Amino acid sequence: MNIALIAHDQKKSELVQFVQAYQFIFAKHTLFATGTTGLRIQEATGLHVTRYQSGPFGGDQEIGAMIAKNQMDVIFFFRDPLTAQPHEPDVSALIRLCDVYSVPLATNMGTAEMLIRGLEEGLLDWRNIVREKDTDNNGK
């Protein structure tokens, strides 16, 4: 599955620790991330991560485009709800796209724990069917 990893500055360390803890699961999937977050995850885990721009420079929108094309299956976006973000409209748009396209989204550690366990148990395999159906419909 294609997994996006995003974190606001105050949450980057927490996301890196989360990926380290579940590295054995993340290693089975294709990882994408915004700039600095992706670099920190690569350095801490050795996992390959396709990196986009930093969030404020369009990385959130690049991942949003993948969601809109049905090319993203799961999003781990550790948000900092206590700090104003200069790119808040992009953040809101990304969250809205997850809702529109039924892409599972974890914005905090509690939800991330449930989502990663579900991924491990195969509870998100329905995304493969959705993606295949979309590919079939666009190929006709």
Which residues form the catalytic set?
60
Q: Which two tokens stand for residue 23?
A: 């590295």
Residues 6+ apart with CB under 8 A from 72: 2, 3, 4, 32, 63, 66, 103
Look at phi and psi of residue 122 and say left if phi exceeds 0, alpha if psi is from -120 to 50, else beta. Answer: left
The residues, any chain, with a CB within 8 Å of residue 129's CB and separated by 6 or more, are: none
CA torsion sign for 127, 128, 130, 134 is positive
Residue 18 amino acid letter: F
